[in-house]
Amino acid sequence: MVNLGPRVAGTPTAEQASQYLIDEYRKAGYQTQVQTFTYSKFRDEGSTITVDGTPLEGQALNGTIAGKATTPLVAVPNVGRPADFANLPVNGRIAIVQRGEIPFTQKAENAAKAGAVGLIIVNTEGGTLRGTLTGKPTIPVVALSRDQGNPLRDRAQAMPTTVSLVVNAEERTITGRNVIAYLDGVTQPTVLIGGHFDSVAGSPGANDNASGTAVTLDLARRMAKTPLARQAWFVAFDGEEDGLKGSRAFVEAAQPQFLSGLKAMLNFDMVGVNQQLQIGGSSSLTAIAQPKASIPKSVVNGSSDHAAFAAKNVPVLFFYRGSDANYHTPNDKTVDPKLLNETSQTAMDIVQQILKVD
């Protein structure tokens, strides 16, 4: 699955991955169902700011409108409060402000009110600024790194500086696909076992999260030979990296009785590197997991698909192995099969215990 490359939700590769999972679950004796769902996703297709023929690397803010303009650049002092724009010739021009203190959306709205046709926001920290606009401002908004942005603002303050701003970005509706597997006739599981199979753009997602996808499939194969399989559903979630879209779609589509019938949802995310297995989640369940792993406090609400179930009052367990230097990078290429096997074995023991205690 890692050999497919990045499995970004809504792409043909993610669809291929879902087909692979369907085939594997069927071979293991399960029925499968694909649950599709749609959501809108922003994409930056390349945004630039050109000064004197030299392009700078702009980062379109998430949610910005597309647009193009070539105008003198106006250096606005501070962070772009309404007063910062007063008495400046911003009308019809591109403005540049600093990051911080007020939301990106307010800077954009203030700039638009002053008549600006585009806004550049300069990072105040090192590295790339990847910001998100909450509303839909009427002008294109781009971020620049501190190293590129500060000299540009200083120059615009010192002398007339014309810039060309190009923002190529769009909002697309994408279709995600959860792959659901269960034995014929099993309509009400007591445990739901899952992990996301999508990855972020540019990362093959071996640890995040082919590892959890593989452990989920492995548990399905192990359980297929036991009576436990009639108490379980297995789900490979899509769209996790876009904000838990797949798990949220699943819990929204589920009947309330289905969710209240679950004794546990087990989520596996990043279980293929680091020796120490960690298991977070609902205290009633971490008590069972206690002897087998390190139990960190309060991880129920963040970061991965178990959170969608916890929000619906389903008891959850979240299996992971801590931080990974290759997280969300092109280097997330390998995992240790021994660790996957260990995770699966531990989870098998825990499932047995959960289903034993009533």
Interacting residues toward ligand BES by CB under 6 A:
208-209, 240-241, 243-244, 269-270, 303-304, 320, 323
Q: Which is nearer to ligand BES, 263 or 321 (CB)?
A: 321
Interatomic CA distance for residues 142 and 104, integer angstroms: 10
Cβ nearer to Zn ion, comparing 209 with 278: 209
Query: To the nearest whole angstrom, how small is the minimum distance from the Cβ of residue 158 to ligand BES?
Result: 40
Q: Assess contact for 165 and 24: CB atoms under 8 A.
A: no
Shortest approach of Zn ion to residue 209 CB, angstroms?
Answer: 4
Which of 356, 248, 355 lies closest to 310 in space, CA to CA? 248
- Closest separation in Å from C-beta 270 to Zn ion: 6
Q: What is the smallest separation between the CB atom of 170 and ligand BES, expressed in angstroms?
A: 20
Q: Which is nearer to ligand BES, 73 or 235 (CB)?
A: 235
Among 208, 238, 242, 332, indicate the residue that binds Zn ion (CB under 5 A). Answer: 208
Least Cβ distance, residue 275 to ligand BES (angstroms): 15
84 binds Zn ion (CB under 5 A): no
Residues 269, 305, 324, 332: which binds Zn ion (CB under 5 A)?
Answer: 269
Q: Which stretch binds Zn ion (CB under 5 A): 98-106, 178-186, 231-239, 267-275?
A: 267-275
The Cα 78–Cα 101 span in angstroms is 9
Backbone φ and ψ of 32, nearest 5°: -130, 155
Question: Which residues have CB under 8 Å from 213's CB, separation 6+?
Answer: 1, 21, 195, 196, 197, 236, 268
Distance of alpha carbon 108 from its chain centroid, rounded? 25
- Tell the smallest beta-carbon distance from residue 321 to ligand BES (Å): 8
> What does 243 interact with, of ligand BES, Zn ion, none (CB < 5 to 8 A by kind)?
ligand BES
- Under the criterion CB under 5 A, does residue 209 sit at the interface with Zn ion? yes
Side chain identity, residue 5: G
Q: How many residues bind Zn ion (CB under 5 A)?
A: 3
Nearer to ligand BES, 85 or 237 (CB): 237
Q: Which helix (H) or strand (E) holds 68?
A: strand 67-75
15-44 positions binding Zn ion, by CB under 5 A: none
* Partner in contact with 303, chosen from Zn ion, ligand BES, none, beta carbon below 5 to 8 Å by kind: ligand BES
Kindly report whether the peptide bond that precedes residue 209 is cis, defined as omega within 30 degrees of 0: yes
Query: Which window, 57-65, 91-99, 160-168, 264-272, contacts Zn ion (CB under 5 A)?
Result: 264-272
Written as six digits, the tokens of 286 are 């971490």
How many residues are given for the chain? Answer: 358
Q: Sign of torsion, CA 287 288 291 294?
A: negative
CB of 108 within 8 A of CB of 82?
no
Nearer to ligand BES, 122 or 316 (CB): 316
| Cβ proximity to ligand BES, 109 vs 241, nearer residue | 241
Q: Min. distance of Cβ 96 from ligand BES in angstroms? A: 29
- Nearest approach, Cβ of residue 145 and ligand BES (Å): 21
Residue 44 contact, options Zn ion, ligand BES, none, Cβ 5-8 Å cut-off depending on partner type: none
Q: Tell me the C-alpha distance between 20 and 36, whole Å.
A: 16
Give the sign of the dihedral formed by CA 86, CA 87, CA 93, CA 95.
negative
> At 29, which amino acid appears?
G
- In sign, the C-alpha dihedral spanning 235, 236, 238, 242 is positive
Mutual orientation of helices 12-27 and 211-224 as an angle, nearest 10°?
Answer: 20
- Interface with Zn ion by CB under 5 A: which residues? 208-209, 269
